[in-house]
Amino acid sequence: MLWALFHGSPYPASMKAQITDFHGADGAFGGPLAAEGREILDALATTPLYLKASDQAGKSGSLIFSPVATNKAIGDALTPRGWTKWDVPNNLAMFGIDVDYAKHGVVVECQFSNYPFLMNNVVRSDLFHRRAIMIGAQGCAALVVITKARMFPASNSTLYYEQAVAQLREAEREGMFRVPVRLIGLFEDIGVSVPAKIIGYASKRYSRTATGTKDIRCRLVPNREDGGRCHIEVEEQD
């Protein structure tokens, strides 16, 4: 099930989003989990496009999607709504020691890192669901994965929404998970002027310490050799 969101957002600086639901997630978030689903979408509706300078070979200095800044912005919007990090039980810590955000039985993972982590997070939440592991006062009822669209220039081997849709469709077809999964992809309009923020970091690689933010307007322009991906052209900056 695919939804297009935020094109009428009251936050004009926010990105756009699309949703694909798996294993009954549309019914879950249209019913008992409606409040939690709405809170997640409201948080995303305030998240702008964050960019950083790449340091990877062949991309050095070019603007790419900033996962650290995007993840922080999402967290800053979710935390006041009662979403918190949640420690994974010790007997499942081989899948990772915590989840990004959780509330009322819903797990949220911001999946901007390498693509193999997607299935790790799905299997982990599926185990929470099958074993009725309590998250707050409720057993695990659903997983929400937030990722970026393929259109954004990004670090090598990082997950993108279209790839995640394909993986989850195959996994669902083979009955590999039971937990309802909502996949949310962050998009932006192509070929038009859009607002963005460039984040500077203390060191080029792996740093999470921001040294400054610059507001810009830019265009995402499709690459000639690969129409599914874009490069970023800066129009103006403050």
Which residue in the block uniquely carries the two structure tokens 């922080």?
72
Taken as a whole, the chain contains a residue count of 238
Alpha helices in 45-160 (DSSP H): 67-78, 117-130
| pLDDT at residue 13, rounded to an integer | 60
Q: What are the tokens at 58? A: 């062949």
Q: How confident is the model at residue 7 (pLDDT cuts 50, 70, 90)?
A: very low
Strands of the chain, DSSP E: 2-5, 16-22, 50-53, 63-65, 84-87, 98-103, 106-110, 134-135, 138-139, 142-148, 181-187, 194-201, 210-222, 230-237
53: pLDDT strictly greater than 80: yes
**What would the pLDDT profile of 82-119 be if each residue is shown by its tens digit?**
999 999 999 999 999 999 999 999 999 999 999 999 99
Task: Give the predicted TM-score (pTM) of the model.
Answer: 0.91
Distance separating the N- and C-terminal Cα atoms of the chain: 40
202: pLDDT strictly greater than 80: no
List, in order of start, the domains of the chain with CATH numbers.
2-195 (3.40.91.20)
Q: What are the tokens at 186? A: 């962050």
